[in-house]
Each structure stands twice: as C-alpha cells, then as structure tokens.
Amino acid sequence: MTAPSNTSAPSFTDDAGEATVHSAARLNRFCLCPQQSLQVDETYPRQAAAPLYIPQAAFAAMRDTIAAIHRVAALPDWRTQALAEAPASAAFDPGHPGVLYGYDFHLGTERPQLIEINSNAGGALISTALLAAQNSCCRELHGAAPALEATAAEQAILDSFLREWRLARGDQPLRRIAIVDENPPQQYLFPEFLRFVELFARAGIETLICDPRELQAGADGLTVKGAAIDLIYNRLTDFYLEAPHLAILREAYLTGRVVLTPHPRSHALYADKRHLARLSDAARLASLGADAADIAQITAHVPPTRRVSPALADELWRHRRRLFFKPVAAYGSHGTYEGAKLTRTVFEKLLHADYVAQEMVAPSLRHAVVDNEVVELKADVRCYVYDGAIQLIAARLYRGQTTNFRTPGGGFATVCVTTG
C-alpha cells in the first residue's frame, strides 16, 4: 500500500452483541476474513491466507527509520567505509540511486525492528495485484479504493524507473528495457516479471525478459537477439556482477553503455549485511558524522548486530540462543542459522566465514483460517523504497524458522494500516 489513509479500524461484534473497535494486534488475532485470492493458475507465487494489520505508529516508525538511514548512507565517511569493503565494481557511480530497495521489519516488539535491507527486492507487483483485490474488511481501512492505491503504487514504481533513466540519459527516449535474471522462466517470481512487462508497456516501453547469457556486446551497448537494450532491470543475485558469464554486462555497465538498476554501488551502500552492525552502534554512527536525532531513530529500530569473528567465539556461543546468524553475501534466507539450533561444529565454521550475528526479534503474529482450522502465522513487513521514500508496504506470512512460501497459509499478504 501507499501512505495510509486517516481512517479508523473496523468494528466487530463481541459475545454480548456490542460493536467493538480493535487495535491492529486484536485484528490480527480475531479478524479471520480471508485475503482475496487472485484468479491465476497454480504457477503464480503463493498468496497468504489473510491480510496483515499494522498500527499507524509502526508505519510512521518504519518511514522515519528508512529516511534516517538514507541520510546516514549519504555521509562521506559512510560511503568511504562501505565502498572500501566492496568489490571494485561498486566504486563506479552511475549517477542514479537504484530502484526497489526492500527494508524488512519485524513488528513483534514495542518498536518495529529492521532485520535487513535488500537491494533488488522482489514481490512488489505481486503485492499491488493483491492490494487491488483487497477484501471487504480491509476496504474499511482505506480512504480510497484499494484498486486506486494499487495503481498509485505501480505508478510510483514506474516513475522510479523513468527517473533512473533521466538521471543517466537526460531527455533521450527510453525505448527498450531488459529484465535480466538467471534462467528467468524457472524463477519463483517469473510471474512478476510478466507484470513488469505490462507496466512498462503501458508507458510505451518495450520489454524483454532474458538470461544474462543472451546479452551481446554491440558497438553502442548491449543487444538481445539483435534488439538494442537501453536499460536493464537487474534481478540477479550476483550483486557485484562477478561471475565470468556476467563479464559482458559488467563491462557495459562500468563503461556507461547501458543503464543498470539496481546496481553494485546501491548494494554496497545499503544492502551489505555488515551495515547492520554499524546501524545498531550509536558510537560508530556518531564517528561517521550522523546527526544525533538520526542516531536515536536508527538505533531504536535496528536490533544489536555484530560481525562474527574468532575473537568473539566465547561470547557468541554463550548468547547464541538469542542470536540469528546471517551470511554477509547471501540473499533471502540462504545460509542463515537460528542460534538455538546451531551445533558446535557449524558454529566453528561460521567463525571463519563472513557472518553477522543479530539479536533475534519476534515477528508479529497473524491468525488465519487454513484448511478450516485457525492457525498462527508469523509475519514480516517489507517496505519497498526508492531514494529514501516508501512506495509500497507488503507482508509475507509464514511458519518455521525463516521467511518462506512453503507452509500452508503462508505467502504474500497485503498490509492494512490502522489507527489503533
């Protein structure tokens, strides 16, 4: 959803027959209305069994935290340190910020807690499709029709791509985009790629979907099957374009012969998980020149995080049950470990790998009806962000240790912001 409307929570009837107005927490527990399902085939990404409610205060806290991080990441000392730790491809500044950052939060504590930042977050157009199909209960929380909010979010996403192009190429026409990922038809979010093709087509832009191996170097840039490519929407998880088969793409990007978004520099400045240790350390932020108000905002909403190293072995092992271990270079939940389930053998390996250890933060909970039974699902909230501003909020419901789409009732969910 876009910025929330100023509306009140829906009312329900209690056991005595009287109408009551509930907070987001109570709605997540007692409102068992299903999320409206999209009329699509079984290959479409999984849709959650219910929407998620969040309070207005949580939305404001996430918005303000994201804005504060955006200001900190613009500081010269932050950029110097971030780029010094990144591969050489991140040193190149293409002059545009990169589209569709994903800021993932858990809302199970007093304040929203930022779990991680992603530089090529997927699922935005799946979420807008769900928003347009919003169920009747959530409609009471929207000042405008959900379909209009979905349209506004999609327009904001389209505008961010157009701004990327203008910053790189000025008034030159944007004629053709390539969505690039490894073996695209086999990607879980391939249906979203098709929705981006439709979104760009409405703006008069032709779009191709291709594997990076299909890219060919031309005299003036890149081509796919003879068609010149102006801009690449980068969905690759090789964030620094280091694999040998990405050499053509890397060279075209670094020589300015194609506009790439998001790009290596955007990942280095925002999404490197080592930044979580900086963001949770007030003294470190102060040394980088951060404003006191921004330091207070960020450290209140980023759980304590430390770089894993042999020097901290005893301390990390002693407190492992309250820690979550994440690899610096991975994406999604690949290679992550819940400390309570960590064996000593695996722990010893992590000490010599590139990991961070983050204080575990409880996700919010959502009750939903799955197979005629009320079940409890965990939820994380993703803010899709461009240049420090939220374009869309969505959620993912799941059961298990990490976010996934395999468990019944889990999947993408719309977010309804309440005043309670």
What confidence category does residue 145 fall into, taking pLDDT thresholds of 50, 70 and 90? low
11-274+363-418 is a CATH 3.40.50.1760 domain: yes
Rounded mean pLDDT, 301-305 = 97
Helices (H), 54-112: 56-73, 76-84
Q: Tokens for 279, please give them.
A: 């963001």
- DSSP states of 249-307: HHHHHHTTSSEEES-HHHIIIII-TTHHHHHT-HHHHHHTT--HHHHHHHHTTS--EEE
pLDDT in tens, 339-348: 999 999 999 9
Give the CB-side neighbour count of residue 60, counting CA atoms within 13 A.
8
pLDDT in tens, 66-117: 999 999 999 999 999 999 999 999 999 999 999 999 999 999 888 999 999 9
Give the CB-side neighbour count of residue 407, counting CA atoms within 13 A.
16
User: From the centroid of its chain, how far is CA 280?
Assistant: 19
- Is it the case that residue 410 has pLDDT exceeding 80? yes
Alpha-carbon distance values, 358 to 11, 185, 227, 279, 388 (Å): 38, 35, 46, 12, 24
- Is it the case that residue 399 has pLDDT exceeding 90? no
Query: Which residues are 390's β-sheet partners?
Result: 385
Say how far apart CA 132 and CA 2 lie, in whole Å.
12
What is the percent of the chain with per-residue pLDDT over 70, rounded to a whole number?
87
Query: CA nearest 158: which of 189, 196, 190?
Result: 196
Residue 365 — φ and ψ, nearest 5°? -120, 145
pLDDT in tens, 114-136: 999 999 899 999 999 988 887 55
- Is it the case that residue 22 has pLDDT exceeding 90? no
- Cβ-Cβ contacts under 8 Å for 356 (sequence gap 6 or more): 273, 274, 276, 277, 305, 306, 307, 308, 325, 326, 328
Alpha-carbon distance values, 367 to 4, 27, 130 (Å): 23, 9, 19
Domain spans in the chain, listed from the N-terminal domain onward: 11-274+363-418
Higher pLDDT, residue 8 or 399: 399
Indicate the range of 22-31, 247-256, 270-279 predicted with least confidence.
22-31
What confidence category does residue 335 fall into, taking pLDDT thresholds of 50, 70 and 90? confident
**Predicted structure pTM score:** 0.90
